[in-house]
Amino acid sequence: MPERVTARPSFLRQVARIVAKDLRIEWRSREILATMTFLAVVVVLIFSFAFVVGDARPPAPVTSGILWIALVVSGTVGLGRTFDRERDGEAIRSLLLSPTSRGAIYLGKLIATIALMLVVEVVLTFLAGLLFSNKVAEQLAPVATLLVLGTIGFAAVGCVFSAALLRSRSRDVLLSTLLYPIIVPIVIAGARGTAQLIDPISPDLDGARFWTQFLVAVDVIFVTIGLWAFEPVVTGE
Amino acid sequence: MTTPVAPGALVLTRVGKTYAGRRALVDVSTTFAPGQVSAVLGPNGAGKTTLLAILSTLVPPTTGDVRWGDVTLGRASDARARIGYVGHDPGLYGDLTARENLTLFAELYGIARPAARAEVMLARVGLADVAADAAARTFSRGMLQRLALARALLHEPALLLFDEPSAALDPAGADWLQAELGAERDAGRVVVLVTHDLDAAAAVAEHVVVLRRGRVAHDETRPGGFGAEALRALYAERTRA
């Protein structure tokens, strides 16, 4: 070990450094958050013009679908930009050449991406409650749980594909093309569970509980695969 | 009779690398000794960057091995803690300041008192005053390369890898970098320089490896160094189609 190096930071400390680095950069520019929030709000507003007529509100499955479509669209933009920052000036190479664990880099990027998406989802949920259904506010805790779990699964897969496409010129197009088929189970589970929770007549809590458990299982699988797959995809091996 | 290997030398034995059926490196055997600059030369596509990727542990060789003392270089992060790398891209975060970039990497390398170490390195590369708190994206090419070198030297690596470090540098920047290469050589590090700039290689290198189509076309050490003319003639002869 070189003289200067006293002790390698623990795995959790490495993860914390990567998260802090990403959030510090975003705090300074607010570029990703602004873009994601803008896109999410635009999607919700466009659907509101189509589905809200007078006092009539769209049915629960439609409200839920709008919420999850906005989440996926804004999240995809966020993923792309987060990894663009690693590509600019080949910063990712310095990270990979440091003794930092690849798993720590993956988890750090994952947590930072989730944090940004959750901020947008706060705005999104508020807007959906305001425009479409007051049941969103009534069922806030279980709806938030579904959103958090869906976000974890989405970002877990998204970080792997974004890393794989770091050096691809068509990465913006390819990311959506590759990512969306894989996240179909997450979107279905999230949208179905949310719709059951915000049903204006009789919320189906048991049904929503099933989808919540389903998302937990999917998250465990996707994060595990992500930890395993990150190194070969990011180094191109 | 085999030549004794200096302690701390990097010994490559029949190293090969294949990407999707294409052979980027074939049976590369050489030794990079500490206390000298080894220049790896060759035309585009000769396998120079692949060789650096293997030496930096970024990719493993398909065949053969790279021994560094008792360690076989692979993907072990222990070895990465002793390697520094400077490429033609700076490898820095443009939205972080020079100080923040160095502190971040000092922390990731497990350096004691990372902020203080960042200050020392900023002073060493001449960025301690006005530039330390400016975002790296506002830096000129020369300043970025100074900061990249500071990052690569933060942990006092025993092996330093340079990939076209003077590309796009002005003459003053190139001279500064050449002096730094000499200083690192004199500090007893293994220094491997990949470049197309034969004059820069001739100025600092005592060991030259010429790659051609993934194979070693020439491998020679001259303790007094290579003159620019001699190196040009050697390179032309060994890379002729």
Q: What tens digit of pLDDT does each residue of B118-151 get?
A: 999 999 888 888 777 889 999 988 899 899 999 9
Cβ atoms of B158 and B34 within 8 Å: the answer is yes
Chain B: closest CA distance from residue A58 (Å): 43
pLDDT at residue A167 in the model: 81
Chain A: closest CA distance from residue B64 (Å): 17
Distance CA A229, CA A223 (A): 10
Both tokens of B101, joined, read: 């970039």
pLDDT beyond 80 at B47: yes
Contacts of B7 (CB under 8 A, 6+ apart): B34, B69
Q: Locate tokens 């970025």: which residue?
A: B144
- How many Cβ atoms sit within 10 Å of the Cβ of residue B170? 12
Contacts of A10 (CB under 8 A, 6+ apart): none
Is A90 an 8 Å CB contact of chain B? yes
Do the domain assignments include residue A205? yes
| Set of chain A residues whose Cβ sits within 8 Å of the Cβ of B192 | none
Mean pLDDT of B80-99: 92
Number of domains in chain A: 1
For B158, the 3-state DSSP assignment is coil
Q: Which of residues 38-67 of B touch A (CB under 8 A)?
A: 56-60
pTM (2 d.p.): 0.90
Q: Using 50, 70 and 90 to split pLDDT, how confident is the model at B177?
A: confident
pLDDT at residue A237 in the model: 67
Please, what is the Cα angle at B9 between B221 and B55, to 5 degrees? Answer: 95
Rounded to the nearest 5°, which phi and psi values hold at B203? -70, -25
Higher pLDDT, B7 or A64: A64
Q: Which residues pair with B160 in a beta bridge?
A: B84, B191
pLDDT at residue A221 in the model: 97
Mean pLDDT of B51-76: 88
Cβ atoms of A145 and A212 within 8 Å: the answer is yes
Both tokens of A210, joined, read: 């099933």
pLDDT at residue B131 in the model: 77
Which residue stretches of chain B are H helix? 48-55, 77-80, 98-108, 114-124, 141-153, 171-186, 198-204, 228-239
Cβ atoms of B211 and B51 within 8 Å: the answer is yes
Distance CA A10, CA A23 (A): 20
Here the ipTM equals 0.88
Distance CA A103, CA A234 (A): 11
| Set of chain A residues whose Cβ sits within 8 Å of the Cβ of B83 | 97
Instruction: Look at B77 and A93 and tell me if their CB atoms are within 8 Å.
Output: no
Largest CA distance in chain A: 72
Q: What is the pLDDT of chain B when averaged over all its residues?
A: 89
Amino acid in position B21: G
| Set of chain A residues whose Cβ sits within 8 Å of the Cβ of B81 | 1-2, 5, 8, 99
Superfamily of domain B1-82+158-169+188-241: P-loop containing nucleotide triphosphate hydrolases (3.40.50.300)
| Set of chain B residues whose Cβ sits within 8 Å of the Cβ of A8 | 77, 81, 110
Strands B10-19 and B22-32: antiparallel
The residue range of the domain holding A135 is 11-235
Amino acid in position B190: V
Q: What is the pLDDT of chain A when averaged over all its residues?
A: 91
Distances, alpha carbon B137 to alpha carbons A56, B95, B131, B164, in Å: 51, 6, 11, 20
- How many Cβ atoms sit within 10 Å of the Cβ of residue A194? 30
Mean pLDDT of B60-83: 85
Please choose, from the candidates A59, A89, A67, A99, the residue with its C-alpha nearest in 3D space to the C-alpha of residue A166.
A89
Q: Which residues pair with B19 in a beta bridge?
A: B22
Please choose, from the candidates B208, B235, B209, the residue with its C-alpha nearest in 3D space to the C-alpha of residue B25.
B209
Rounded to the nearest 5°, which phi and psi values hold at B2? -100, 145
pLDDT above 70 covers a percentage of chain A that reads 97
Considering only CA atoms, give the Rg of chain B: 18
pLDDT beyond 90 at B166: no
Q: Using 50, 70 and 90 to split pLDDT, how confident is the model at B79?
A: confident
Both tokens of A96, joined, read: 């990979």
Chain A: closest CA distance from residue B105 (Å): 8
**Domain range annotation of chain B:** 1-82+158-169+188-241, 91-156
Is A101 an 8 Å CB contact of chain B? yes
For B163, the 3-state DSSP assignment is strand
Q: Which of residues 17-56 of A touch B (CB under 8 A)?
A: 17, 21, 24-25, 28-29
Do the domain assignments include residue A194? yes
Mean pLDDT of A47-52: 86
Tens digits of residue pLDDT in B198-211? 988 998 899 999 99
pLDDT at residue A132 in the model: 87
pLDDT at residue A65 in the model: 94
Do the domain assignments include residue A89? yes
pLDDT at residue B77 in the model: 61
pLDDT at residue A42 in the model: 95
Please, what is the Cα angle at B190 between B46 and B22, to 5 degrees? Answer: 20
Do the domain assignments include residue A3? no
Q: Using 50, 70 and 90 to split pLDDT, how confident is the model at B240?
A: confident
Please choose, from the candidates B19, B11, B7, B5, the residue with its C-alpha nearest in 3D space to the C-alpha of residue B47.
B19
pLDDT above 90 covers a percentage of chain A that reads 73
Q: Using 50, 70 and 90 to split pLDDT, how confident is the model at A73?
A: very high
pLDDT at residue A108 in the model: 97
pLDDT at residue A235 in the model: 80
Q: Using 50, 70 and 90 to split pLDDT, how confident is the model at B76?
A: low
Q: Locate tokens 């008192």: which residue?
A: B113
Do the domain assignments include residue A148? yes
Which of B89, B95, B108 is opposite residue A17, by nearest beta carbon? B108
Residue of A5, A19, A83 best to disrupt the B interface, most CBs of B under 10 A: A5
Q: Using 50, 70 and 90 to split pLDDT, how confident is the model at A215?
A: very high
pLDDT beyond 80 at B5: no
Distance CA A53, CA A131 (A): 11
pLDDT at residue A146 in the model: 96
Strand order in the sheet with B83-86: B83-86, B159-163, B190-194, B36-41, B207-212, B215-221
For B184, the 3-state DSSP assignment is helix
pLDDT at residue A170 in the model: 84
Instruction: Look at A97 and B58 and tell me if their CB atoms are within 8 Å.
Output: yes
Do the domain assignments include residue A4? no
Is B108 an 8 Å CB contact of chain A? yes
How long is chain A?
Answer: 237
Do the domain assignments include residue A19? yes
Tens digits of residue pLDDT in A86-144? 998 889 999 999 999 999 999 999 999 999 999 999 999 999 888 887 788 889 999 99
Q: Using 50, 70 and 90 to split pLDDT, how confident is the model at A6?
A: low
pLDDT beyond 90 at A52: no
What distance, in Å, lies between the first and last C-alpha atoms of chain A?
27
Do the domain assignments include residue A50? yes
Distance from chain centroid for Cα B214: 18
| Set of chain B residues whose Cβ sits within 8 Å of the Cβ of A91 | 91-94
